[in-house]
Structure 1
Amino acid sequence: MTETEDKLIDAMLTHVPFDGWSDTAFRAAIRDTDVNPTVARGLFPRGARDVARAWHDRGDAKMTGAMAQADLSHLRYSEKVAHAVRLRIEAIEDKEALRRAMVQNVLPLNAPDGARMLWQTADHVWRALGDTSEDYNWYTKRMTLSGVIGSTLLFWLGDESYGNQATWDFLDRRIGDVMQFEKAKARVTSGPLGRALTAPGSLLGMIRAPRRRDDLPGARR
């Protein structure tokens, strides 16, 4: 991410509480930073929507950077997942900006973009934890974790507990649900039915993870 992109994101965040993720806020950010409007539109062709996406990407980058520096050797796997999601939430500088973004993302036109952002964050978490799945597990892991991240963010927006402890307790419960799902899935796939469903040539057996980095569902182009 360039310095100009960072400047525009930071400037826009000061206007989002009043104008939302709108073109009004985007134009105000351009004025505040003295960035050439043509350059700004080149960086963010969809205006405010692309700035919101870039803000999300910046949060993902902060989370992956913090994960790379953390010593997680003493944690169980479920605790590592919860730690990564917590780091991602703690990377959010402005709760009101997130609230405004999530309100926009429920609109039919924006919903696919919102889903891609959640999927992307889930992908970053699994990659940071060294996930090597190449089959249908690649998709189910990201699908379930996307749901956990989305529900935890909604809970966090209304959390008034000290140190957001209620949110972290909620997160631990949701991660526990994911681990139970993974255990149940493992039991099914290790049995006769599961072996038949995942055999070479079967529907599940033909599912593969995206091969190219730009083939990842949710990649910002």
Structure 2
Amino acid sequence: MTDTTTGDRTVERDALLLAVLPHVAFDGWTRQALRLGAEDAGFGLDEAAILFPGGIAELADHLHGWADRAMLERLAEEGEAFESLRVREKIAQAVLARLDVLLPYRDAIRRDLARRALRPVSRRTLRQLHRTVDAMWRAAGDRSTDINYYSKRGLLAGVYASTLLVWLDDRSEGQEITRAFLERRIGEVLAFGRQISGLKRLGDLAEAPFRLAARLREGRGAAAEAVARRVGSRERTQQRGLQ
């Protein structure tokens, strides 16, 4: 796996991450877990600090980038079998592939979500979610750049987030409960989109956080705030029209 944000240290960063994750299940996302994982992976604390200068918080963020890359590798390994699927099936397969990658570290994911739930939604969390659903859509062949770019990612973010919560407590064989839930959620989204004459109007309601995340990713904070204000005004107008 390669990561252009970390250059040739990606292998070491991944190795340290995977060594820390088993300890997170017991010690949480703490310095203790980082110290124990570094020892297991053969890294000194000084080297761990160089790999993750932001400490355990940065390492937790790295988990999501690693999972995205691992998901894409699994989908690529499926080759023609994946490419021959319908778009709906590709999206479902991408969600399941990412969850399967994370399965050995489910307790660490649970602790990460609990940790983030104690804080207001951050720009970093929005960027991570945007990168994940964007990777899924691109793997499915989506190259949209208009309003559909935001609406598709907004819709998938809701599907993925709700499926993730079900997956956390799914102990069924082969994750059958999660698979059935995901299929229903995708079906509900498509049905709802048809009921409101396609996804355009739904996209207007769903696009706000992802327009913001895209601008933040590009370092355009002022532009993001302006977009958020415009979308918020549009949503209020729509709501008044529905009353």
- TM-score (normalizing by structure 1): 0.79
Task: Name the stretch that deviates more: 146-155 or 38-47.
Answer: 38-47
2:42 to 34, 40, 44: 34
Q: CA contact under 8 A between 2:22 and 2:108: conserved in structure 1?
A: no
Residue 148 of structure 2 is aligned to residue 145 of structure 1: no
Q: What are the Cα deviations for residues 127-150 of structure 1, in whole angstroms up to 9, with x where unaligned?
A: 111211112221111111111111
Q: CA RMSD in A?
A: 3.0
Under a length normalisation based on structure 2, what TM-score does the superposition of the two structures give?
0.72
CA gap 1:131/1:186 in 2 versus in 1, 3 angstroms:
farther
Tell me if the contact between 1:81 and 1:175 (Cα under 8 Å) persists in the aligned partners: no
1:168-187 matches, cutoff 5 A: 168-183=179-194, 187=198
In structure 2, the gaps of 5 or more residues are 3-9, 205-210, 221-243
1:57-68, aligned counterparts within 5 Å?
57-68=65-76
**Residue 133 (structure 2) pairs with residue 125 (structure 1):** no
CA distance in 2, matches of 1:146, 1:88: 13
Whole-Å Cα distance in 1 between the matches of residues 219 and 71 of structure 2?
A: 19
Following superposition, the deviation at residue 216 of structure 1 comes to: 8.9
Match of 2:93 among 83, 87, 97: 83
Aligned to 1:43: 51
Tell me which amino acid in the other structure corresponds to 1:76: R
Partner of 1:215: 218
Amino acid at match of 1:215: E
Q: Distance in 2 between matches of 1:182 and 1:65?
A: 31
Which of 15, 18, 28 aligns to 2:23? It is 15
Between the aligned residues of both structures, percent identity stands at 37
Q: Partner of 1:154 in structure 2? A: 165
- Taking structure 1 as reference, are residues 177 and 112 closer, same or farther at Cα in structure 2, changes over 3 Å only? farther
2:95 corresponds to which letter in structure 1? Answer: V
Corresponding residue for residue 167 of structure 1: 178
Q: Distance in 1 between matches of 2:163 and 2:26?
A: 25
1:99–1:157 Cα contact (<8 Å) kept: yes
Q: Is the 8 A contact 1:104 1:110 kept in 2?
A: no
Q: Please, which moves more after superposition, 94-103 or 104-113?
A: 104-113
Moved more, 106-115 or 74-83: 106-115
Q: Deviations over 1:62-92 (max 9, x none)?
A: 1111222322354332111111111111111
Q: Secondary structure at the match of 2:191?
A: helix
Equivalent residue in structure 1 for 2:118, among 107, 116, 122 = 107
